[in-house]
Structure 1
Amino acid sequence: MDVHPNKQKLVGRAIDLFQEVQNLTPGKDLEARLNAEYGPGTPIYDDLCSYIRQGIENDEGWVATDELDGPKYRRSVVCRPSAETRFFSITTVYMASDEVYAGQYHQHPYGEINCVVQIDKTAELKGMNGWQGAGWTSPGPGTHHYPEVRRGRLVALFFLPAGRISYEATPEMPQPLAI
């Protein structure tokens, strides 16, 4: 069992967030709320970012360790859904590119919450509502996309309700009415 202190702290802080959002549905309204109430400069956001950055900078071996497309695109499951995490899974995805880089196309059956952790202050993650630097994205249920990064390195710290993600969607499929 991995008992790295920063990993444990990250899970504990994520649980604090889950207590706040457990009954809310991912989507543009939740994204706006997260950015307004839990964005950069707030204790939860700053702590989550700090633990991820320490994990990357110190090569602690738990942040985005599994290569998907070489060292520029990596992922690690931090924890699976459980009663303790209000049935959210926690995953880290490291992406790096000076230009736009797209990862694996996927769908969010129940939506997704992403904490954008900038390693480089210029890095941005593309959400359903456009490019996001430091802060949050929250694709709604049924949405699908390529995860995209530009202008540097970041970690998408993402939380999936019930741990649900699908790799069966294709780009030509219509998006749900409410994104």
Structure 2
Amino acid sequence: MSPSDFQRLIAQVTAQLAGRPLNADLAAWLNVTYSADSQTFSDLADACRVGVAEGWLCNREGGGIRYGRIFKALPDTHGFSVDVVDMKDIAGPHHVHPHGEIDLIMPLTEGATFDGHAAGWCVYEPGSAHRPTVANGEALVLYLLPQGAIEFTAA
């Protein structure tokens, strides 16, 4: 697995997401189509674990969180930026999603959750905000941001 292999893998998913509204219906579709027991989920989780181990994912650290943007919003990723974070029993910085956010939750500790969600997908609608929180252990979370848009706030 290399960053370019990872980009091709992500692009298979983002091709299915381009132009779709970011809402609860999309979250439900993702959790059926690419469920936590699917080959795509397994391939993405394996790629993320390899990328972290090899140092090309989550290559920055701050406030107890390892993170990194591997791809800006590109035509090859259908206008989505791609970030991966490694969090353990921590809340991250508050931010707003101007165009929404799609998250793939990959627990490293059995039972770890992201914003109360177990392994799988969650989708935040445009204009939503949160303090991303991993509880009950450690998880990798892959973030897809339309146009790479995110606004960190003081909240």
Q: Which residue of 1 aligns with 2:29?
A: 33
Q: Secondary structure at the match of 2:100?
A: coil
Match of 2:140 in 1: 155
Instruction: Give deviations 1:31-54, integer Å, cap 9, x for gaps.
Output: 111111111122221111111122
Q: Which one has the largest radius of gyration?
A: 1
2:100 matched residue in structure 1: 111
Quote the residue 2:88 is aligned against.
96
State which of 96, 103, 122 in structure 1 corresponds to 2:111.
122
TM-score, normalised to structure 1, is: 0.82
Tell me the number of residue pairs that the alignment of Structure 1 and Structure 2 aligns: 155
Q: Give the equivalent residue in structure 2 for 1:66.
A: 60
Out of 1, 9, 17, the position equivalent to 1:13 is 9
Q: Secondary structure in 1 aligned to 2:68? A: strand
Q: Any unmatched runs of 5+ in structure 1?
A: 171-179
Q: Which consecutive segments of 4 or more residues in structure 1 shift more than 4 A?
A: none
Q: Which amino acid aligns with 1:19?
A: A
Superposition deviation, residue 75 in structure 1 = 0.9
Structure 1 or 2: more strand by fraction: 2
Does the 8 Å CA contact 1:64/1:94 hold for their aligned counterparts?
yes
- Name whichever of 160-169 and 136-145 sits farther off: 160-169
Percentage of identical aligned residues: 29
| TM-score for the superposition, normalised by structure 2 | 0.94
Q: Distance in 1 between matches of 2:5 and 2:107?
A: 19
Q: How far is the alpha carbon of 1:169 from its aligned partner?
A: 6.6
The runs of 5 or more residues in structure 2 that have no matched partner are none
Matched residue, 1:176: none
Q: What is the aligned partner in structure 2 of residue 174 from structure 1?
A: none
